[in-house]
Chains A and B, each alone.
Chain A
Amino acid sequence: MELATLLWGLVAVVGVPLLLCGYVAATEKLLGLAPARRRNALRPWLWLAPGFVPLAVFLIYPALHTLLLSFLNATSTRFVGVANYAYIFSTRSMLTVLRNNILWLVVFTGVTVVLGLIIAVLTDRVGYEWVVKATIFVPMAISFVAAGVIWKFMYQYQPAGTAQVGTVNAALSALSSSFKPQAWLFNKAENNWALIAVGVWMWTGFAMVILSAALKGIDESLFEAARIEGANEIQIFFRIILPLMKPTVIVVTTTLVISVLKIFDIVYVMTNGSLDTDVIANQMYKEMFNYQNFGRASAIATLLLLAIVPVMALNIKRFGRRGATP
């Protein structure tokens, strides 16, 4: 490790906070010079500036610039109108990419929410709750890259008749003698489902933790009252738990939708989009780096943003209504 790198690291870790403390001290000094009336009007902006300058430079401006680039050609030198968008919606490989994202969106989100909900409700009734929860939550802590390696190994395939090293093929062969080992990541009929399963494995813990917290917030006496009235557990789930947890289910669902639209690492590591498994984010990376087509890459990124706009609007509305004033 070069000394220079360590030195810069130290500057960033110690220097940046010190600089920021100095900044606030300096602004207070400066504000002391301003007339008292102006002081309180100016101060908030000086406190917001260190945060909003990076937001403007690295998020807001680039997003707008990307929107502009999406109407320019590959090298950003000529205006091409909506040609990049027309390409996306008329090329077979791009349509496959869109189809895959919709598949991810529906299947991944649906399965993860339902599984998370079921596990949250079931673990609530047993004494070893935290053990199950920790086990299911652990994949949330590791990287998509590591998960990709883990599952590529799980999906290993050897021709039928030879010993299977991949857990999935070996387990299914052991369970059913009629099962034929599959090349999960290579068969077009299955590969997308196999990738989605990895996503579910990683994110179910997330859904479970949030839903479980909401479940614990429900008044126990409601269940007791229902049981005395003769309601069975299934009725309690559908008539009491589910309606009360609806807002949380919506929050979890929107969070999963946002994550799944941007899904990149799993596909990049496991198949790199080969054999019809590509997704929007991976395709954008390819257009940007492999083909250097900045127009198309920008158009794909813009579509991604457009897909997320409804969720963004929902969040803003929800927050605006809650009243941002203390």
Chain B
Amino acid sequence: MTASAAAVHTGAVAVRGALRTTVHLVLVVVSLLWLTPTLGLFISSLRPAGLVTTTGWWRAFSTPFRFTLENYAHVLVQANMGRSFVNSLVVAIPATVMPILVAAFAAYAFAWMRFPGRNALFLVVVGLLVVPLQVTLIPVLRMFNAAHLTGTFAAVWIAHTAYGLPFAIYLLRSFIEGLPGEMMESASLDGASHAQIFFRLVLPTSVPAIASLAIFQFMWVWNDLLVALIYLGGTPRVAPMTVTISNLVNSYGGGWQYLTAAAFISMLLPLVVFFALQRYFVRGILTGSVKG
């Protein structure tokens, strides 16, 4: 290697090195930016009232070093967050379970049965994926009023089931469609009925897709504000956490030690689900990136 070529080479290495450093720097800064808001919330939720409003949360570890669980105790008991946590579970679990089998039936029919209008009907499902649910609120609320369901858990279960169906059918169809055809054919040659094929073959092999769907639907219902606000309302007896917190934001104003604790309680379960089942969650997002 000649001297000048070596110089060019060292120069290129230096440039590349500088580039790499920049990449690391950018990523670290971005990560810190993304982490800080949640960290600030968590630390503040553990600080006593007097300190939260007078010093920044980043000073929590200097003087005076004081932490407390009182905020959590307060919101769980006095601010109805304990009850709301249970309400959120009561809303989200049935609303997650109910659409799965319904969607699996339709997905199986779309994937492995032949009938006129199959493609057109499936395009209706694709179209419904993005329909804003705002466009359904008034008529559905009137139906629920007429049936005396407004303000009951049954109303949100039904609403979330219907709203979740287009995505559920879409996601399960794309999975069930990909199952090997030979498997179905040999079962059918052995005299298995569609019901037997569905329950013995299709459903068990679709467990990964169903897991993705269940996590997705659960997170969506757990984090939903609008549907709960409209069909369930804000009465403490039924309000899920999202509704309760949005009420607290108005009533507590500057009570940040309580608001931060309440918000963190509502984030606990999604964070656990996210870190434990990230793989399924990400897969759901990848398949369903057309959902509105």
Contacts and interface: CB of A to CB of B under 8 A. Distances in A.
Interface string A104-129: 00000000000000010011011000
B41 A57 contact: no
Contacts of A255: 289-292
B27 A62 contact: no
Contacts of B55: 163, 165
Contacts of A290: none
Contacts of B52: 165
A142 B270 contact: yes
A151 B36 CA distance: 11
Name B's interface SS: helix
B165 A1 contact: no
Most A-side CB within 10 Å, residue of B36, B245, B263, B278: B263
Contacts of B246: 145, 148, 265, 268-269
A58 B52 CA distance: 45
A122 B38 CA distance: 23
Contacts of A145: 223, 225, 241-242, 245-246, 263, 266
Interface in B30-64: 30-31, 34-38, 40-41, 44, 52-58
Contacts of A123: 27
B69 interface: no
B211 interface: no
A167 B126 CA distance: 43
Nearest to A2: B237
Nearest to B127: A312
Contacts, number: 333
Contact of B153 (A5, A210, A251, A285): A5
Contacts of A324: 118-119, 122-123
A315 B223 contact: no
A54 to B, nearest CB: 4
B10 to A, nearest CB: 17
B206 interface: no
B93 A13 contact: yes
Given A153-B40, A325-B119, A262 B225 contact: no
Given A54-B165, A294-B138, A143 B225 contact: yes
Interface range, B side: 35 or more
A275 interface: no
26 contacts: A8-B154, A9-B90, A24-B105, A28-B193, A44-B114, A54-B158, A59-B136, A59-B166, A69-B138, A119-B30, A134-B275, A136-B34, A138-B274, A141-B219, A142-B223, A146-B223, A154-B40, A156-B256, A255-B289, A255-B292, A265-B226, A288-B138, A300-B134, A301-B135, A316-B127, A324-B118
Interface of A: 1, 5-6, 8-9, 12-13, 16-17, 20-21, 24-25, 28, 40-41, 43-45, 47-48, 50-52, 54-55, 57-63, 65-66, 69, 119, 122-123, 125-126, 131-132, 134-146, 148-154, 156, 163-167, 170, 201, 204, 206, 209-210, 213, 233, 251-252, 254-255, 258-259, 261-262, 264-265, 268-269, 281, 284-285, 288-289, 294, 297-298, 300-302, 304-305, 308, 311-312, 315-316, 319-320, 324-326
A-B residue pairs, 4 tightest by C-beta: A58-B162, A143-B223, A12-B94, A51-B106
Interface of B: 19-20, 23-24, 26-27, 30-31, 34-38, 40-41, 44, 52-58, 83, 86, 90, 93-94, 97-98, 100-103, 105-106, 108-111, 113-115, 118-119, 121-123, 125-140, 143, 153-154, 157-159, 161-163, 165-166, 169, 177, 181, 193-195, 198-199, 219, 222-226, 229-230, 241-242, 245-246, 249, 256, 259-260, 262-264, 266-267, 270-271, 273-275, 278, 281-282, 285-286, 289-292
